Amino acid sequence: MDTIRIETSGGSYPVHIGKGIRTKWRELIDDYASYSSFFIITDEAVEAHYLSSILGEEKLSYFIVPSGEESKSFEQYHQCMTALLEAELDRKSCIISLGGGVVGDLAGFAAATYMRGIDFIQIPTTLLAHDSSVGGKTGINHELGKNLIGAFHQPAAVIYDIECLRTLPDREWRSGFSEVIKHALIHDETFLNWLVDRRKAVQNYSDEELQFMLKKGINVKGAIVKEDERETGVRAYLNFGHTLGHAIEAELGYGKVTHGEAVAIGMIFALRMSEEYFQTKLRMDELRIWFESLGLPVAVPRELDIMKLLQRMKVDKKAENKSLKFILLKEIGTPTKVSIDDEAALKLLKKSVERSV
Ligand SMILES: NC(=O)c1ccc[n+]([C@@H]2O[C@H](COP(=O)([O-])OP(=O)(O)OC[C@H]3O[C@@H](n4cnc5c(N)ncnc54)[C@H](O)[C@@H]3O)[C@@H](O)[C@H]2O)c1
Ligand SMILES: O=C(O)C(=O)C[C@@H](O)[C@H](O)[C@H](O)COP(=O)(O)O
Ligand SMILES: [Zn+2]
């Protein structure tokens, strides 16, 4: 098992990464004995695979949401809070988030707001959750935009059992890989080359390769969160590919594309924009072909109205005074935040729409 410590304003917490460690969660939590009770939040697919291995012999209470992005909703949040109240959780209770980013964001937001904030721990079960379980962004979606309702609330611990990844559907492997690629693109070209050089689908990585890749991604995120926990500066770099990605998710309807797929389209768009803005070559063509070979989408879906996407991008949390902000790369590994005018964004959006076959 490897342990990475994430440093935040409120102290640090461990991210344990290893095989089969989910059943040892009680030993891996520093203050296990100090909690009055634990309450698990999970989703239907994860329940079927993993809930019993977390419960063990213990009769813990739990709440199960439907699988998928639609569960990051006011309705599920409300139902979740009702379940917590009915289970009579007190301020010394701890919520366990068992699942991917959807469950993590929802359970984290429930923990952030239940009685004005109680502890929670993350037991991530998707590849994408190497990103979502670390750093303390929690929240739900609104029909007007992704993650617009939320709070910063750091977990007390993250227990990442790589064994859980082996039951992921192929599409979810790919989706999570997109955020791994993001971490490489914003920080480390050597790591990017390591990923490209594998020349195999991520689901075929060995346990050792997976462990290495997860540590790399989490270290990139941890270093940025340490420097800027509440996104007043460099944390926005973790949003590379997300200005367009989030707009696509909301405009198509939550759950139509996965988050990682939308971010993949957004990253290719941001690479193209970076090349134009900085008048440089950034391997965009090579990376687009690589994404396609991995089965990741690279173009804006044809059915989307680009004017509506533009309006959506202005509701992005990075936007200021309705002016569009993008994270671009000066070079691979060197991100920066820039303002882009509407005309330039529209021109590039037109070029990025899927061609009909
Ligand atoms: N808070 C953050 O910093 C942050 C970072 C990145 C993404 N996110 C959010 O994360 C969400 C996406 O997370 P996700 O991709 O993990 O989606 P998800 O949680 O919906 O999981 C994807 C699918 O896989 C299933 N699943 C989960 N684990 C499984 C397993 N081990 N075996 C089989 N099936 C399993 C789920 O039931 C679901 O159907 C988005 O809402 C995104 O906005 C948040
Ligand atoms: O942790 C961050 O900061 C990120 O931006 C990570 C993103 O991958 C993630 O999708 C996050 O939820 C997006 O944040 P948002 O503030 O744009 O909603
Ligand atoms: Zn993301």
Q: Check pocket membership of 131 for ligand 2, CB cut-off 6 A.
A: yes
Predicted confidence (pLDDT) at residue 43 exceeds the cutoff of 90 = yes
pLDDT of 336 above 80:
yes
Among all bound ligands, the one having the nearest atom to the CA of 132 is 1
- The finding on whether 135 has its CB within 6 A of some atom of ligand 2 is yes
Cβ–Cβ < 8 Å for 89, 81:
no
357 pLDDT higher than 60: no
Indicate which atom in ligand 2 lies nearest the CA of residue 150.
18
Answer yes or no: is the C-beta of 314 below 6 A from any ligand 2 atom. no
Nearest one of 87, 88, 129, 128 to 108, comparing CA atoms: 129
Q: What is the pLDDT of residues 80-107, one digit of tens each?
A: 999 999 999 999 999 999 999 999 999 9
Residue ranges around ligand 1 (CB below 6 Å): 43, 45-46, 49, 67-69, 72, 99-103, 105, 125-126, 128-129, 131-132, 135, 137, 147, 164, 167-168, 172, 175, 179, 258-260
Query: Does the CB atom of residue 337 touch ligand 2 within 6 A?
Result: no
User: What does the radius of gyration of the chain's CA atoms come to, in whole angstroms?
Assistant: 20
In the chain the domains, ranked by start, together with CATH numbers, are 2-167 (3.40.50.1970), 170-352 (1.20.1090.10)
Residue numbers annotated as active site? 116, 137, 179, 221, 231, 235, 239, 242, 246, 259
Give kind and range of the element (H or E) at residue 14: strand 11-18
Dump the DSSP string for 218-250: HHHHHHHHHH-TTSSSGGGGGGTTHHHHHHHHH
Whether the CA torsion 187, 139, 35, 122 is positive or negative: it is negative
184-199, pLDDT tens digit by residue?
A: 999 999 999 999 999 8
Task: Give the tens place of pLDDT for each residue, 249-297.
Answer: 999 999 999 999 999 999 999 999 999 999 999 999 999 999 999 999 9
CB 19 within 8 A of CB 205: no
Q: Which pairing describes strands 11-18 and 61-65: parallel, antiparallel, or unpaired?
A: unpaired
- Residue 89's contacts (CB-CB under 8 Å, 6 or more residues apart) are 37, 39, 95, 114, 115, 118
> Does the pTM of the predicted model rise above 0.90?
yes
How high is the pLDDT of residue 356?
A: 59
Q: Is residue 72 within 8 Å of 254, Cβ to Cβ?
A: yes
